[in-house]
Every structure is written in structure tokens, then in C-alpha cells.
Amino acid sequence: MAVDRRPLIAGNWKMNFDHLQAIAFTQKLAWTLRDANHDYATTEVAIFPPFTDLRSIQNLIEGDKFDLAYGGQDVSSHDAGAYTGEVSGSFLKALGASYVLIGHSERRQYHAETDEIVRAKVEASLRHDLIPIICVGETESDLEQFGPSAVPVAQLRAALSGIAEKDIVIAYEPVWAIGTGKAATDEQAEQVCGALRTALAEAWGMAPAESTRILYGGSVKATNIAALMRQPNIDGALVGGASLDISEFASICRFLKHVV
């Protein structure tokens, strides 16, 4: 974590919580963070609910003036038209979303999202003034075959090819660490996040590489966040399972209180 990059703790709810559950959960989360005097200026907190929750989340956050940011878990590469089931970046923007997750490994695995599709979705999000959180990561067999950073770096290069410098976030999520309880060690995560920053510097130059936030995701918990956040190239976390538990997620958001 570098002092001039504001850490971002992002909760990816995946396909959990309908809109009623989302309202209750988000309200309790915001109150828990408020009671703990969480300073959002020091650590940003964002949630990524299912699409059907977003209107309720917007009403709640705007109505109660919570400082939580939010975004979609995916976006269409198209802006409008005959694309049944897809959601345009313009719709997310109209709901007050700031961010959108792109290329999560579950999208790549279950929805056949290729590097080309990921790249088109990055472009779509930028067209609608949404900050893409570009997810990259290797499987266990990629790791054995190609080593730790080759696949995530190649995915990042492909996602950004032909795209000029913009405000983006990168999330390194090793597939073998997602939902397994087996997080990457802080050294492993730092090695790949450092390689991603170098790749970004090659694409866009040093200044944007230095200012872009790189998150780690994969079995992040209250007990391992502090060590991860001590690494110089890790600027936050993309949290799955633990983002569905208020006290656990609030504790992750307050990592500065347990970084020693």
C-alpha cells in the first residue's frame, strides 16, 4: 500500500442477497462502520450487489447519505439494442454506480468471456464514465505451467490493448484462491501485483502505473488483510465470501486499525 493511493475494499456479493436482504445488509454495514468511526477518506469501501438490488441500494445510499460506493458485477460491451439479458453501462451510470467488475474469473469460466470480450467491456465501461475493476488471475494449472505472473499479466495487456490511459482499478484474483480458504501468501500476491504494475507502466508510463490501485482477491479475511495491505503494490482487496458477513467485512475495511 502506498500512501498516495487510497486503499479500496470492495465486496463482490456474487449471486447473493435479493433487494430486501441487500437493503437490510447495507444499512447495517453502514451503521457498523459509522459506529466504528470508519474514515472513508482514508479507506474507500465499495459493494457490488446483483443488478436487481442496485436501485434499492442507490435509494438507500443517497437517501441516508452513506459514503459507500457501489457498482455492477458485469456490463454489456454494447450500449443498447437487441441483446437480451444484458445491462448497458449507461443504465449502471443512471443508477449512480461508480465502478463495474469486468472479467471476473467466474465470468471467464462460466460465460466464456475471452480477453477480447473483456477488452470490449473495459471500453464500454469507460464510454459511460464507469471505473472498470479489471479482474485477472491464473488457475492452478496455469501456475504450474507458466509460473505466477505470466497469465495475469497477459490478461491485463489484452484488456488494455489499444486503450489510452484512464482511471481504472486492477484486481489480481488467483483462481485457486477464490472461495477455497487458501489465500495467496502476501509475498505471492505482492510478486504478481508488482508485475502487473510493471506491465501497466510499459503500457501507459510510470505516472499512471504509480497512481492506479491494484487489489488482491481470493479468500481475503479479517485475519489476513493486514499482512496483504503491508505490501507496497497491494492497494486493497476484492472480497467475496467474507463480504457477506457484516462484522468480518467491516473488520477488513478497518484494516488500518490492525496493520502494525
Among candidate residues 104, 113, 138, 190, the one labeled active-site is 104
Write out the DSSP string of the chain. Answer: --TTS--EEEEE--S---HHHHHHHHHHHHHHHHHTT--TTTSEEEEE--GGGHHHHHHHHHHTT---EEEES---SSSSSS-TT---HHHHHHTT--EEEES-HHHHHHS---HHHHHHHHHHHHHTT-EEEEEE---HHHHHHH-SSHHHHHHHHHHHTTPPS---EEEE--GGGTTTS-PPPHHHHHHHHHHHHHHHHHHH-HHHHHHSEEEEESS--TTTHHHHHTSTT--EEEESGGGGSHHHHHHHHTGGGT--
Question: Does the footprint of ligand 13P cover residue 240 (CB under 6 A)?
Answer: yes
Question: Does the footprint of ligand 13P cover residue 50 (CB under 6 A)?
Answer: no
- Residue closer to ligand 13P (CB basis): 71 or 217: 217
> Binding residue for ligand 13P (CB under 6 A) from 71, 152, 217, 236?
217
Segment contacting ligand 13P by CB under 6 A, of 75-83, 84-92, 159-167, 172-180 = 172-180
Catalytic-residue membership of 104: yes
Residue 206 C-beta: closest distance to ligand 13P, Å: 28
Distance CA 120, CA 116 (A): 6
Among candidate residues 106, 113, 138, 173, the one labeled active-site is 173
Residue nearest ligand 13P (C-beta atom): 240
> Binding residue for ligand 13P (CB under 6 A) from 71, 89, 103, 241?
241
From the number of C-beta atoms within 10 Å of its C-beta (0-12, 13-18, 19+), residue 4 rates as exposed
- Residue closer to ligand 13P (CB basis): 7 or 241: 241
Question: Does the footprint of ligand 13P cover residue 132 (CB under 6 A)?
Answer: no
Segment contacting ligand 13P by CB under 6 A, of 77-85, 144-152, 159-167, 214-222 = 214-222
The partner residues of 70 in beta bridges, in order of sequence, read 47
Catalytic-residue membership of 144: no
- Residue closer to ligand 13P (CB basis): 63 or 189: 189
- Residue closer to ligand 13P (CB basis): 221 or 230: 221
205: how many CB neighbours lie within 10 A of its CB? 11
Question: Does the footprint of ligand 13P cover residue 45 (CB under 6 A)?
Answer: no
Question: Does the footprint of ligand 13P cover residue 225 (CB under 6 A)?
Answer: no
Question: Does the footprint of ligand 13P cover residue 179 (CB under 6 A)?
Answer: yes
Question: Does the footprint of ligand 13P cover residue 71 (CB under 6 A)?
Answer: no
**Catalytically annotated residues:** 104, 173
Provide the binding-site residues for ligand 13P, judged by CB under 6 A.
Answer: 12, 104, 173, 178-179, 217-220, 238-242
